[in-house]
Amino acid sequence: MSRVRRDPHAERARAGRGPSGRVRMGVVAAGPARPRTDPHALRAGVLAPSGRLRVDPHGGDLVQHAGVLVEQGPEQPILVADPACLILAVLDLPDGRLERIDRGLLSAARDLADQLDGAVVALTLRGRHDLSRLGADRHIALDLPDSWDPDAELSAIAAALDTLSPRHVLFAETPLLGADRARRLAIRTGLGSAFAVHRLQPSEIRARGAGTDLVGLPPPIMTLHEVLLADMPEPSLREARPVELTIGPAPAAIEDLGEMPVDLTGAPLTEADMIASAGDGVTDWSAFHELAQILNATVGGSRIVCDRGLLPRDRQVGASGTLVAPKAYLAMGISGAAQHLQGIERCQRVVAVNTDLHAKMIERADLAIVADAQAVMPALASLLRERDRG
Ligand SMILES: Cc1cc2nc3c(=O)[nH]c(=O)nc-3n(C[C@H](O)[C@H](O)[C@H](O)COP(=O)(O)OP(=O)(O)OC[C@H]3O[C@@H](n4cnc5c(N)ncnc54)[C@H](O)[C@@H]3O)c2cc1C
């Protein structure tokens, strides 16, 4: 019987090997062929042939869908047609401007509403604001006069409560705005309230009490502490559907006589627009206080100077003091320790005066003066006096 002759070429080909015996790429195509991707077709909708992203004139976004980049139309707002409850957020809007604290308040309201299958109703007392990107499902946009009239504001907020019966009304714990409005509302309505809430859950809140944390169920009226408002995520696009509100006439108990000059040096640090802050590099305290007075800046300091009793404890800026967010922060002889820098993260502009070029505060500053604070303070004060004279 003759032996079956082996054909080594055919065997190698079946095994996917070349004449050399090495595995050949691409010849072991057993089974269904993989669909080939056409890079030009892929790019057509979303990428220019160069491979660079095209600008979509319709404002569409590029999203990855099943591993392929596709073009998506403009983002659609999330609608909440039939909410289980309403969360009313009364924005501060200092000077009619939408501030970081207002964004934080809306995000916190959004977070709570999402956990309760509810909707967020934003109430703005003045100005025109687009709140669709800030988490508002509904928007009551009032146009109260600019004058200071807490009674008119309160009547408007109370009217919103009567009309909507929200489950919770949220304010920011800002002394001159949210905190004041919330306390007035609590007294007028007799509803339960909690202030300076720093942990907010549908079934439990924690609020800052006198030296201790108060824990309980969330009451109808709450103010939220700034620590809660600082860490909120950015919400997605919402409807911000306008809601009309009828407000009755408010009793005119207060007459607004306009603004008066006030001494801001001892104002609460959280409210300050400008802070003059002293560290261990300050030895001429009368020059420091005089400069703060001329600038009408609120006085702050590092922990070291508060520990030494050179400034009261409520002036301490930093992680274990007050987190501040002024437009301008003037740091005199402050090194910029991590705990201090945490306290000034949200300052818009920082000016540092320090003899050490390598101080962390100099690194953090938008404007740095490498010099003796004792020389800079009186020089700056005399320049400002000259400017004021004319
Ligand atoms: C748990 C914990 C919490 C803390 N919390 C806080 C807090 O909330 N806030 C806080 O501030 N600190 C806090 N600290 C302390 C912090 O670590 C620093 O010790 C403190 O901030 C330093 O203060 P300072 O910058 O004034 O002093 P220093 O670190 O001594 O710095 C003095 C600065 O002045 C400069 N200087 C010296 N002479 C002059 C001059 N003639 N002119 C100009 N500049 C001059 C020096 O170059 C130096 O940069 C905390 C520490 C801990 C452990």
Q: How many other β-carbons are positioned within 10 Å of the β-carbon of residue 87?
A: 25
Q: Give the relative orientation of helices 373-389 and 285-295 as an angle to the nearest 10 degrees.
A: 30
Do residues 181 and 155 lie in contact, with contact meaning Cβ atoms separated by under 8 Å? Answer: no
Question: What domains can you pick out in the chain, each with its CATH number?
Answer: 86-242 (3.40.50.620), 269-389 (3.40.50.1220)
Residue 280 alpha carbon to ligand 1 centre in Å: 6
Q: How many other β-carbons are positioned within 10 Å of the β-carbon of residue 250?
A: 18
Q: Which of 320, 342, 350 to mutate to test the pocket of ligand 1 (most atoms within 8 A of CB)?
A: 320
Distance CA 258, CA 269 (A): 24
Closest atom, ligand 1, to C-alpha of 353: 43
pTM, two decimals, is 0.57
Residue 295 alpha carbon to ligand 1 centre in Å: 23
Q: What is the pLDDT of residue 51?
A: 37
Q: Which of 306, 332, 340 to mutate to test the pocket of ligand 1 (most atoms within 8 A of CB)?
A: 340
Q: Which of 285, 303, 364 to mutate to test the pocket of ligand 1 (most atoms within 8 A of CB)?
A: 303
Burial of 47-76, coded b for 16+ CB within 10 Å and e otherwise, reads beeeeeeeeeeeebeeeeeeeeeeeeeeee
Rounded mean pLDDT of the chain? 84
Distance CA 230, CA 228 (A): 6
Q: What is the pLDDT of residue 176?
A: 83
Question: How do residues 358-390 score in pLDDT, each as one tens digit?
Answer: 999 999 999 999 999 999 999 999 999 999 887
Q: How many other β-carbons are positioned within 10 Å of the β-carbon of residue 14?
A: 12
Do residues 121 and 140 lie in contact, with contact meaning Cβ atoms separated by under 8 Å? Answer: yes
Question: How do residues 197-252 score in pLDDT, each as one tens digit?
Answer: 999 999 999 998 767 788 999 999 999 998 888 767 778 899 999 999 988 777 77
Question: How do residues 63-74 score in pLDDT, each as one tens digit?
Answer: 554 555 556 667
Question: How do residues 148-168 score in pLDDT, each as one tens digit?
Answer: 888 899 999 999 999 999 999
Q: What is the pLDDT of residue 233?
A: 78
Do residues 371 and 380 lie in contact, with contact meaning Cβ atoms separated by under 8 Å? Answer: no
Residue 54: both structure tokens together: 């095209």
Question: How do residues 21-54 score in pLDDT, each as one tens digit?
Answer: 443 433 333 334 444 444 343 333 333 333 343 3
Stretch (H or E) spanning 89: strand 86-90
Distance CA 143, CA 344 (A): 34
